[in-house]
């Protein structure tokens, strides 16, 4: 699958057109491919196999055959293999970072500092949780046993490709499940490198399988497949709903991490010099292509002018450019369809009467090609506006003023989503109180360090189920009660 240079692994152009099934690389049932577009140049940089229903059948059969053996291995032996996967991610971090930069336009510094290391952390955490997890407890003569659910279909998105793969694959195989992975067809290169890495780590054949292809064919086939016991999807609300509908006849478990329109509530006592700039950068991290990005900054009306000045200055200082440049903070939007979506929503904001502080429609100056988008900040946004309600998934921030803390909480909850939220304030008791009133699966107070053990998932239309740490691990387990155990 890969060729080895002096210091890294690189993709072989021929074998990118293959699938990884039952411990080996093989050609798909039909000789069809999908192009991979570099969003910085708009050029085709690779062709990957376009899998089909037949390929899904083959991958599921391999996973089903491998399940009895893998699920009966000791936690210690599974932890050893997962630990080796973690080591190989760190050893091959540069190749993975380069693939991420190529396939989705991630700034190389961001790929090296965030995309790859955080992905590795999901693997480490899965190993550590497994090493200390108690799979059986006896309570009053009844044994409560947790067992792997079976074959898991994993569908991952294009915006954090490797990170979302490890957040699903690592806890699933740690729990004793076998998996079939469908990465996004828009950013599949890092997934191919990951498959080779898993192979080299010594994972038994059939435990991990990769089928590239479209959601309409491969994703739908996985969701409906009678021999898949669980589907975990990270993606759009539309995709999540379609997967749930397809999965319903076989009554399989479905976990979904979907859209978001996360609030960032700046309480009146917040230190605005310290709260506003990180808020802007959090909203624009990964070019705003994060489902939990805090893209609604909710601020006291009497401090609005101060917030506007700080936000505009922060956004205007962001370097947007070639993702291979060490100076670049934000590369391009990851694909053409999303670029068009972001441009359209910026126009919507202007037409709705929001106050444009910086940015606006059009490419970044100096770039005739590439999906480079101007970091855009709107102020005086009303919560009823489309730009305040719809997930834009780009570097667009809405500043919404409030008069009372109760109104701030109401604005924060005025959304169909409930994935993440932020609260800033020096009075920790007040910040905690506000956090408890926000309907979201994860609330961050005063920009804390990322915690890979903190469960992540949504309320409302942001999905169901949880990922990361212990709670993410337990999603892949069934509960069995053995009554009269003794």
Residues annotated catalytic, as ranges: 257, 291
Listed as own residue / partner, the contacts of 363-370 with beta carbons closer than 8 Å and 24 or more positions apart are 364/320, 364/321, 367/321, 369/41, 369/42, 370/39, 370/40, 370/41, 370/42, 370/105, 370/332
Tell me if residue 371 falls in helix, strand or coil: coil
Nearest to 339 by CA among 397, 285, 393: 393
Give 384-408 as a DSSP string. Answer: TSHHHHS---SSEEEEEEESSHHHH
> Strand order of the sheet with strand 151-155?
24-26, 19-21, 208-210, 178-182, 151-155, 230-234, 253-257, 463-464
CA 13 to chain centre: 26
Give 126-190 as a DSSP string. Answer: HHHHHHH---EEEETTEEEEEEE--EEEEE--SSSHHHHHHHHHHHHHHHT-EEEEE--TTS-HH
What is the torsion angle, in degrees rounded to the nearest 10, for the CA atoms of residue 184, residue 189, residue 190 and residue 195? 90
Distance CA(87)–CA(81), nearest Å, equals 10
User: In a 10 Å sphere around its CB, with 0-12 CB exposed, 13-18 middle and 19+ buried, how is residue 200 labelled?
Assistant: middle
Structure tokens that stand for 171 in this block: 């806890």
Q: Are 54 and 213 in contact (CB under 8 A)?
A: no
What is the torsion angle, in degrees rounded to the nearest 10, for the CA atoms of residue 209, residue 210, residue 215 and residue 217? -70
Nearest to 303 by CA among 277, 267, 278: 267
């Amino acid at each position: 699958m890969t060729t080895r240079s002096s210091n890294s692994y690189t993709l072989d152009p021929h074998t990118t057109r293959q699938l990884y099934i039952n411990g080996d690389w093989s050609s798909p049932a039909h000789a069809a491919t999908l192009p991979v577009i570099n969003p910085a140049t708009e050029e085709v940089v690779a062709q990957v196999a376009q899998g089909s229903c037949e390929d899904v059948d083959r991958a599921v059969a391999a996973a089903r055959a491998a399940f009895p053996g893998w699920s009966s291995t000791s936690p210690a032996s599974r932890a050893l293999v997962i630990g080796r996967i973690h080591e190989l991610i760190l050893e091959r971090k540069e190749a993975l970072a380069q693939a991420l930069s190529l396939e989705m336009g991630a700034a190389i510094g961001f790929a090296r500092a965030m995309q790859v290391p955080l992905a590795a952390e999901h693997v480490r955490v899965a190993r550590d949780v497994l090493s200390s997890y108690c799979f059986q407890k006896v309570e009053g003569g009844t044994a409560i046993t947790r067992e792997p659910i079976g074959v898991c279909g994993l569908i991952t998105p294009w915006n954090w490709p490797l990170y979302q793969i490890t957040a699903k694959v690592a806890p699933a195989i740690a729990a004793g499940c076998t998996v079939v992975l469908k990465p996004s067809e828009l950013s599949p290169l890092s997934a191919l490198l990951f498959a080779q890495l898993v192979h080299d780590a010594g994972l038994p054949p059939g435990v991990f399988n990769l089928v590239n292809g479209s959601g309409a064919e491969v994703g739908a086939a996985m969701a409906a497949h009678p021999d898949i016991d669980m589907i975990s999807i990270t993606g759009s609300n539309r995709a999540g709903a379609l997967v749930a509908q397809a999965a319903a006849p076989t009554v399989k478990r479905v976990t979904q991490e979907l859209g978001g329109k996360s609030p960032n509530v700046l309480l009146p006592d917040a230190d605005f010099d310290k709260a506003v700039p990180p808020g802007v950068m959090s909203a624009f991290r990964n070019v705003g292509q994060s489902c939990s990005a805090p893209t609604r900054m909710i601020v006291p009306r009497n401090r609005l002018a101060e917030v506007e000045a700080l936000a505009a200055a922060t956004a205007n200082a962001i370097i947007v450019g070639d993702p291979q440049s060490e100076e670049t903070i934000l590369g391009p939007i990851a694909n053409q369809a999303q670029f068009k979506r972001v441009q359209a929503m910026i126009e919507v904001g202007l037409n709705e009467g929001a106050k444009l502080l910086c940015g606006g429609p059009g490419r970044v100056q100096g770039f005739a090609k590439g999906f480079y988008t101007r970091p855009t900040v709107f102020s005086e946004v009303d919560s009823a506006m489309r730009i305040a309600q719809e997930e834009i998934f780009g570097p667009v921030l809405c500043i919404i003023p409030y008069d009372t803390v109760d109104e701030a909480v109401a604005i924060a909850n005025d959304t169909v989503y409930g994935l993440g939220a932020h609260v800033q304030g020096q009075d920790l008791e007040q910040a905690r109180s506000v956090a408890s009133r926000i309907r979201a699966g994860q609330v961050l107070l005063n920009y804390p360090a990322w915690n890979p053990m903190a469960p992540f998932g949504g309320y409302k239309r942001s999905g169901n189920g949880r990922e990361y740490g212990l709670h993410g691990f337990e999603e892949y387990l069934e509960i069995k009660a053995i009554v009269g155990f003794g």
